[in-house]
Chain A
Amino acid sequence: MTEPIVKPRRKNPLLRTRLPTSPPRARSRASHGFTRAAAEGRFMLQRCGACGTFCYPARDACPACLSADLVFADAPRRGALLSETTLHVPADVHFRERAPWRVGLVAMECGPTLVAHLHADCEEGQPVVMSFQLDKSGQAVAFAHPERETPNMADDRQWREMTADPKFRRVLVTNGRSIVGQEAVAALKAAGASIVFVGVAEPWKPFRGEDALRAIEGVQIVPLDIGDEKSVADLAADIGGKVDILVNTTEHVRAGGLLDRQGTSVVRDEIDQSYLGFVHLAQAFGPAMRMRGSDGVNSAAAWVNILSVYALVNWPAFGAYSASQAACLSLSHSLRAELRPGGVKVVNVFTGPLDIDWFQTVPPPKVAPRVVASSIVSALKRGLEDVFVGDVAEDIRQRLAANPKAIERELGA
């Protein structure tokens, strides 16, 4: 049984903050099929197109029939723990300071045997359920969970290394004026965040939901106008050292593409609010988060972006907005690489049109802000990197994978 983690005490200022270290990074290109699966929370193995054999680890030919037709496919998650090994003095720096560390061999019901990190409640000979996780270096690793829920399961020490669970962490939600921001605050508090800082720009403008937001215990409203470099830097000067999870809930949606807009001020606003706001946040908060990636139970853990799925392919009805989102998506990949040495995840939550005023004339299905908020929490708890929320986002993802040209043409019809 897992001991529940306790709320971390205040840091001893006489002690040096432990710097992040990375688990081994090297992977073959073929192995990045697992990286994709882990990023999206899927369990995929290579499967032979000729004979149907599942295999592991990643390779270039089927071990059963030597066919080169190996593709990653969703696979059954169940297996049994064949054996376990507890590493007491690992040679690797990262694992040495986390020792003892348990790994094991899992015989999958679908065939192959996997080397996996073990949840503490997995017992030798017992059934386990597998997932792929992104470890602190962003590499996919297999992780074995007990078959059934166990007490305090999410508090397992090894599991918490794979996730960015909000429990006992301190969160900054950048825009408390939006409904998505307010729902995110409530969901993160409910998930056990010890404090949620909520940015409010132009505090002289009243906003819907303000009283309810102020009434939540453990919520601290802070001045933050992410379009303003100094505002962001000033906030980071105050709380940059205690933001463990940053949730960028910037929301600046305007309809229209290029030709029906006069001038560039609307475009510029989009870029200021979305792209430059992201830059300001990253430059102000990123370095301290990267440095605090191994800072105990409430180490810096994740950066969450809420992006339109039209970052992936332009929707001309919201064409300039889509482009600003594409810029943010590209930037998120840079941030992800730059935060990786700290073991801090960058989570991109892709949504279709939200059920908010700015998509008023767009027909359903639309994503409820509350669903975005619960998806954020779920992604943090599961340690995901790429999340597609709602039918539209999932549809776009699948159509893009099938034929990017077709979807470009259809969205522009």
Chain B
Amino acid sequence: MDSNSLKQFAGAIASGAVRVVDLTFTLSPDFPVIVLPPEFGQAAPVRIQQISRYDANGPAWYWNNLTFGEHTGTHFDAPIHWFTGKDLPNNAVDTLPVRDMIAPACVIDCSAQAAQDPDFLLTVPVVEEWESRHGRIPERHWVLLRTDWSKKGWRDYANLKDDGAHTPGPNAAVMRWLVEERGVIGFGTETIGTDAGQAGHLDPPYPAHHFLHGGGRYGLQCLCNLDQLPPTGAVIVAAPLKIQNGSGSPLRVLALLPAA
């Protein structure tokens, strides 16, 4: 590729010929975070503490101190997040290859199924059916699971019952298959995690985490606006914060797609 092509690309973004869609929720204190049993360590919620706002603490400037867990808001999971990926090289957000931060996406629309069943699980046949219409999932692509879950109110979004969360996600077989047979670069969801709400009861538990990170792949969760993406053809820009040995980070996720 020559520099002209890059210039053309920048021009296309500026002119709107390439559309930029924000797939990110606003990072705010009231956004649901993953809930673990209270005896485990908890993800710190997002806190925004004002340092000054053109006041006695800083007459001409406004700024805040932030605290949040690595896995809050729309966020990225690196392989080191899960035990299966703990010994891989370059497995943390500060060391993973920057070229992996820009990759195309296949968007599988399961919003109808998820509307019927909050515990909907993505399976290999569902993906194969998608492939029969849109072609085989190429290597180094993101697979994004569209469920329209991001359009729900917070309570329905978390959907916590007395036996845990009930939110859609992938089953174990499809995660293994996507990693091993399709070579995906990562898997993304609209829900609080890449795994289904009841994924602790699958074999292995939390298969998205297990297979993605064991295979050195990435996770994206709490995405929104997936309904604006075509089944294929969008390019995802997902660059996590460069946190030393970080297991993940909140980030801005952008999708680039040809304007209709």
A residues contacting B by CB (< 8 A) are 202-206, 223, 225, 227-231, 263, 265-266, 268-269
Contacts and interface: CB of A to CB of B under 8 A. Distances in A.
B50 A205 contact: no
Contacts of A231: 29-30
Question: Of B29, B44, B153, which is in contact with the most chain A CB atoms at under 10 Å from its CB?
Answer: B29
A14 B260 CA distance: 59
B76 interface: no
B41 A265 contact: yes
Contact of A205 (B35, B42, B47, B48): B35
The 4 A-B pairs with the shortest beta carbon distances in the complex, nearest first, are A204-B154, A204-B155, A204-B158, A228-B29
B32 interface: yes
Nearest to A269: B42
14 contacts: A203-B154, A204-B153, A204-B155, A204-B158, A228-B29, A228-B45, A228-B47, A229-B48, A229-B50, A231-B29, A263-B41, A265-B41, A268-B44, A269-B42
Interface in B43-71: 44-45, 47-50
Interface in B10-51: 29-30, 32, 35, 41-42, 44-45, 47-50
Question: Of B47, B48, B155, which is in contact with the most chain A CB atoms at under 10 Å from its CB?
Answer: B47
Given A204-B157, A204-B158, A230 B44 contact: no
A230 B48 contact: yes
B68 to A, nearest CB: 12
A228 B29 CA distance: 7
Contacts of B161: 206
Question: Of A202, A225, A231, A266, which is in contact with the most chain B CB atoms at under 10 Å from its CB?
Answer: A202
Contacts of A230: 29, 48, 50
Given A225-B29, A227-B47, 14 more contacts: A203-B154, A204-B153, A204-B158, A205-B35, A205-B158, A206-B155, A206-B160, A227-B45, A228-B45, A229-B47, A230-B29, A231-B29, A265-B42, A266-B41
B45 A203 contact: no
B29 to A, nearest CB: 5
Contacts of B160: 204-206
Interface string B140-157: 000000000000011101
A228 to B, nearest CB: 5
B213 to A, nearest CB: 22
A202 B30 CA distance: 7
